[in-house]
Amino acid sequence: MLAFITAVLACNASDNEPPQSITTTSATYTALSTRLINVIRAKGDASSIIDSIAQVDEAVLSAELTNDDRRKTFWINVYNAYIQLLLLENPELHQKRNAFFNEKRMVIAGKELSFDDIEHGIIRRSKVKLSLGLFSKWRVSDFEKQFRCDAVDPRVHFALNCGAKSCPPIAALELSRINKQLDASTRLHLQATSTFNEAENTVYITTLFSWFRGDFGNKDGIRKFLKQYDILPKDAGQVTLSFTTYDWTLLLDNYVDL
């Protein structure tokens, strides 16, 4: 849907100059990604921000995204923003989900990227999409190597929104408090989607844990993660994990303040 992005950029030709913050902040494009989420949420004109992120020199962006806090802030915001932009314009795209996530649909630093490129390649550090988080890709592009996170952070699964009802809500992530926000979004989503039945010794949890079990350290890691966020008692033993059905019903404009 690159044609859609081109149309967005053209809708406000008088506003194509980069915002003043581009030359006045030390985390320019990270901050700009936060602003992008806020503008989209407010139904404002995001064309100048989209243009700036699309046209920034790759080396300039790389020089800013020097650690995982900056990378996660920028790439999660960009991912969530483009999900909203594209599906608000054309909700039917969500009906063919594989194509929607696989095809190149946005331009970042002059590079055409898909949602899978961002989620599994950059944010999840070159993981094979359908490998349950257990395997990494053999071949990785230079762009992906340059921008991917140094480590896999399982909390990102509770911050990325793919436009479905079972997705966590979108927050405008800010570099200065990214870790507090990721903790908050994780706790919020787990509380909303998890149930511990002590009598059955079973915890019912989102199937995100199943799809990406390797990111959490497999089943023992999932149990530890659930204890960390007070879904399971700290002294719980080998609780049975039961994964609930994911609701893919389209749900847009699902935001939260963290």
pTM of the predicted protein model:
0.90
Domain that holds residue 190: 183-243
What does the block give as tokens for 181?
Answer: 């926000």
Domain count, the chain: 2
Q: Which of 173, 192, 218 marks a domain boundary?
A: 173
Residues 70 and 101 in one domain: yes
Q: Distance from first CA to last CA of the chain, Å, rounded?
A: 31
Residues 190 and 163 in one domain: no
Instruction: Give the residue among 62, 68, 33 at the shortest CA–CA distance from 152.
Output: 68
Q: Residue 254: inside a domain, yes or no?
A: no
**Element housing 202 (H / E):** strand 202-205
Residues 20 and 120 in one domain: yes
pLDDT on residue 7: 39
Residues 114 and 134 in one domain: yes
pLDDT tens digits for 141-164? 999 999 999 999 999 999 999 999
Cβ neighbours for 149, distance < 8 A, ≥ 6 positions apart: 68, 71, 72, 122, 123, 124, 125
Indicate left, alpha or beta for 202 from its phi (over 0: left) and psi (-120 to 50: alpha): beta
Residues 168 and 137 in one domain: yes
Q: For residues 6 and 51, is the Cβ–Cβ distance under 8 A?
A: no
pLDDT tens digits for 9-62? 333 333 333 333 333 344 699 999 999 999 999 999 999 999 999 999 999 999
Beta strands in 170-239 (DSSP E): 195-197, 202-205
